[in-house]
Structure 1
Amino acid sequence: MDPIVSAEVINFPPQFLELMHQALPDENDFADFIAISQRPLRRAIRVNTLKISVENFLVLTAEHPWELTPVPWCQEGFWVVLNDEQIPLGSYAEHLSGLFYIQEPSSMLPVTALFAGEERPLTLMDMAAAPGSKTTQIAANMANHGLIIANEYAASRVKVLHANLSRCGVTNSVLTHFDARVFGAALPEQFDAILLDAPCSGEGVIRKDPQAFSQWSLESTHEIAQTQRELLFSAFHALKPGGRLIYSTCTLNQIENQQVVASLLAQFPDAVTIESLHDLFPGAESVVTAEGFLHIFPQRFDSEGFFVASLRKTASVTPLPLPSYKIGKLPFQPVSRLIAQQVTQLAESVGITWDDRLNLWQRDNELWLFPKLVEPLMNKVKFSRLGFRLADIHNKGYRWHHEAIIALAKPTPSTLALSAEEAAEWYRGRDIYPNSPLPKGECLLSYQQQVLGLAKVVNQRIKNSLPRELARNGPLFK
């Protein structure tokens, strides 16, 4: 067992135990649930195929002091046993450069369900996106094609969401910061697919967070379920006819799971059907409900608890009243063809390239790249962040932004490949003093064939340009 946290004795509320006893009538099964809930959770990662294939990742990390076990429902997912605890998973070079995401395997299931079969959505919404595990997984499944609107209600989590999307090289997303109950009215029948990983009571994460029950009550569970119903109805209105809607939670009770879905079916009996997930992966039949949902208790796969429902919208429904808010004037404007040509050529000279899925926009002296598919939506909803910042214009040319470099730049013949020690110094925010001669001016830096940033060489010193908020303290990779 490779724990995430030290085990704590958990005192379950009596009313919660009553709910679980109803769901798990077999006494041995119920005892297994109580026992495993006291055990620490296993670590796991998901390889980010936007930056590296699973095969190449396994070759790259073959000498790492860890043991990887495949996750049966996600071909990019692995449980991890660390044989050396000195370096945390988040301090490995491959994590810092976005080659993998630390993610609990059960939380990989909703996106696996979203793309099951031949589903290839072009426009997609992640209604409760932070910190970004599922949004980055969605982007990898879409290979950065199409458009993802990643919404997060909590203002404090939007910055974390953006940082994770940037680190993982996601270029087809835009961010919104709303109570997601607005989208059904604001963007009716707009999306090919929607993921609603709903805010919940968090009963399934008890092994990672022993304090998950500190505020639990049956009354609050019913209040949360009412919010979930409103969010689910909003998602359903925003979904195109024929589209797939995944509703998921990391909680265990039926009040927030089966009963929430049942309320949608009762409201729109002729416009929604359930798609059974019984064959989503080998072993799914052991956790599928009579309705076709996945209801995973932690003792089933030695994981977090999770619930996943796949719903298909079969017909249009009466639209909701349009929202009364005003969007305001967009502070961006498209750049001219001449400037676009010039910027593209200069960007290519430092290794930054993009294709026609992205368009150049300007705000004052800032240049941004927006996914082309978001443009029809710009006058319908206010965005917290549209695409990402490419460069600032100044009197000597362009100053390229770090987020654009790590998302778009590829190593070139003139890229300076760093050693492990030098790359660690870069991530600590320190200047680097190589022993070998250095080129003059700006140059891309790489480690493990992944671009780390664009730096200026001053004499025999590589001046560190890593944004201060990304600098790391503590032990790093060796």
Structure 2
Amino acid sequence: MDAHTYIPAEFIADVQSYIPQHLTIADYIESCQRPLRPALRVNTLKTTVAEFQAYADEHSWTLTPIPWCPDGFWFERPLAQQTLSIGNTDIHLSGGIYIQEASSMLPVFALQHQTNLTDCCVLDMAAAPGSKTSQLAAAMDNSGFLIANELSSSRLKSLSANMQRLGVANTALSHFDGAIFGSYMEQCFDHILLDAPCSGEGTVRKDPNALKNWSIESNQHIAEVQKQLIESAFYALKTGGTLVYSTCTLTPLENQQVCQHLLEMFADHIDVLPLDTLFEGAEQVVTDEGYLHVWPQVHDTEGFFIAKFKKLGHTPHPNPQAKKGAFPFSDFSSKESQAFMKTLTDQFGISHLAGNLAIRDKELWLFPEQSTDLKEKIKFSRLGILIGQTHRTGVRLCHEFATALGHLATKNHYELSTLEACDYFQGKDIKLPHPTSQQGEVLLTLCGNVIGLGKWQKNKIKNSLPRDLVRDNQLITWE
């Protein structure tokens, strides 16, 4: 129990006004002062649940399945391992898992419930740091087109780094106030996730100071922003598409009342999709409207709210907008593409890349196929995967080619030992036990997952890890 969790009396009085009758305020306060159970999600773009379970058994981890996420687990590690940060383990550094609170997995699971997200156009309107974006990419199996938007420029960088580590290849990053999507990208998306910025009332179990600046006035101000965002999302949604709205807060001001605003604004064009059967136990947290109002004491999680809607018809946006300025890329020529693909086939056995190759200056990018109709709607911070840099003799491959597309290779891998992995992440070259005659680039793997590129040299593999990913001050230790 964390007795230092700050819970102001005014907040408790507000919660008492809307807590369900079958729950008690005493149980709620007690749950807020209990540490969270650590949880993770298996990144199925890199590994399988079965492979991760075998890894967990080998390392004596205890796993408990999360009912609403087939890829999610609560986990416990032996005491001797707990001094090692989970972020410094090989399975995490290789992109095999993502540390994510259990209730945070619900919004994406709700979006994909009874829906096939593959080959769809999807918007994650408030994406950083990337937990739900990467969960969406996995649900889409890296197909279709996923736009991950983040207003904060500092959080956009961490979002990009996470997408690279996790092998996400179907995504574009944008840096806007989400309120612009309705006017610039009207009826563009099959599905939209709006995990809205909120007061964070549900996060006190991991942040004892989450309620330090709490006030009703702040809730009301945030709710006005949320209403603008949810309106924008509905305009950007295609007719027949679905929208999930979620927050990590509990107040109806930011939850039920925001949803009611949407229902009133688009009364003839919207249906609520009830979530009472989303998972076993969902009926314990469902509201009369069919939303999920997840109280922390019910499933031993953070507090969360999730609602799902279907768009039945479209009302035109009152002020549609169009991007100014030319798209700064051109198609990679057929001749150059053929030469590049021959190199990939010879070096790695990769005979096909799904998407469209494009060039800007000397940068070669791979765009998702379904980005063609949307790439000029807004200005993207990043679109697709940076494959490499062109030069007079071909293409020099980049790090994210390896992390996003390396799994396609059928040859030329080198599995790192734990000591070699320590050297790799510290930016050091990999010393070979025996001289080699192999030449060119090689894909480096850890836990069977491609983590980057190296270059064969006689007695070593030259490290190609980008400098900004080198972990100078975080030495990795292993059990």
What TM-score, normalized to structure 1? 0.95
Q: Does the 8 A contact of 1:245 with 1:310 survive in 2?
A: yes
Deviations 1:260-300 (A, max 9, x none): 00011111111111111000000000000011000001111
1:203-214 to 2 correspondences below 5 Å:
203-214=201-212
- 1:85 and 1:209 map into 2 onto residues whose CA distance is 20
Distance 1:118 1:461, change over 3 A: closer
AA paired with 1:115? Q
1:46 and 2:47 matched: no
Quote the residue 1:267 is aligned against: 265
Q: How far apart, CA to CA, are the structure 1 residues paired with 2:354 and 2:340?
A: 16
Q: Name the aligned partner's letter for residue 48 of structure 1.
A: N
Q: Whole-Å Cα distance in 1 between the matches of residues 92 and 431 of structure 2?
A: 24
- Give the partner amino acid of 1:331: P
Report deviation, 1:413. 4.0
Structure 2, unaligned stretches of length 5 or more?
Answer: none
Q: Distance in 2 between matches of 1:352 and 1:38?
A: 54
Residue 217 of structure 1 corresponds to which residue in structure 2? 215
Q: What secondary structure is seen at the aligned counterpart in 2 of 1:376?
A: coil
Q: Does residue 475 of structure 2 align to residue 477 of structure 1?
A: no
Q: For the structure 1 residues 81 and 240, does the alpha-carbon distance in structure 2 shift closer, same or farther, using more than 3 Å as the test? A: same
SS in structure 1 opposite 2:17? helix
Mapping 1:32-181, distance limit 5 Å: 32-83=27-78, 84-120=81-117, 122-181=120-179
CA–CA distance in structure 2, aligned partners of residues 269 and 171 of structure 1: 37
2:443 maps to a residue whose letter is L
Contact residue 126 and residue 197 of structure 2 kept, 8 A: yes
SS in 1 for 2:181: helix
- Matched residue, 1:464: 463
Aligned equivalent of 2:418, options 400, 417, 420: 420
CA contact (8 A) 1:431 1:463 kept: yes
Deviations 1:7-59 (A, max 9, x none): 35223223211221122265972101101111111111100111111112212
1:392-430 deviation per Cα after TM superposition (whole angstroms, max 9, x unaligned): 012343210001111111354432222222122212222
> Structure 1 residues 475 and 423 mapped into 2: Cα distance closer, same or farther (>3 Å)?
closer
Q: Distance in 2 between matches of 1:26 and 1:285?
A: 15
Residues 440 and 356 of structure 1, relative CA distance in 2, 3 Å threshold? closer
List aligned pairs for 1:235-246, cutoff 5 A: 235-246=233-244
Using the alignment, how far apart are the partners of 1:291 and 1:328 within structure 2? 44
| Residue 453 (structure 1) aligned with residue 452 (structure 2) | yes
| Deviation (angstroms), 1:148 | 0.5
* From 20, 24, 46, the counterpart of 2:19: 24
Q: Read off the aligned partner of 1:406 and give its amino acid letter.
A: T
8 Å Cα contact 1:353/1:408 also seen in 2:
no
Instruction: Write the letter of the residue equivalent to 1:86.
Output: T
User: In the alignment, which residue of structure 2 is the partner of 1:3?
Assistant: none
Alpha-carbon offset, residue 321 of structure 1: 1.1
Does the 8 Å contact 1:44/1:79 carry over to 2?
A: yes
Q: 1:386 to 1:141 in 2, by over 3 A?
A: same
**Identical-residue share of aligned pairs (%):** 45
Cα distance in structure 2, aligned partners of 1:451 and 1:154: 30
Counterpart selection for 2:303 from 298, 301, 305: 305
> Aligned-residue CA RMSD in angstroms?
1.8
- Counterpart contact for 1:424–1:477, Cα < 8 Å: no
CA distance in 2, matches of 1:403, 1:456: 15
- In 2, are the aligned partners of 1:229 and 1:260 still within 8 Å (CA)? yes
The aligned residue for residue 320 of structure 1 is 318
Deviations 1:170-210 (A, max 9, x none): 11111111001000010111111100000000001111111
Structure 2 vs 1, CA of residues 136 and 28 (structure 1 numbering), >3 Å: closer, same or farther? closer
Q: Aligned to 1:244, what secondary structure does the other structure show?
A: strand
CA contact (8 A) 2:192 2:233 kept: yes
1:385 equivalent in alignment to 2:382: yes
Aligned length: 472
Name the CA shift for 1:107/1:352 in 2 (closer, same or farther; >3 Å).
Answer: farther
How much has 1:355 moved relative to structure 2? 4.3
Query: d(CA) in 2 for partners of 1:329 and 1:155?
Result: 23
**What are the ranges of 5 or more consecutive residues in structure 1 without an aligned counterpart?**
1-5
Aligned partners of 1:203 and 1:213 also within 8 Å: yes
8 A Cα contact 1:184 1:320, kept in partner: no
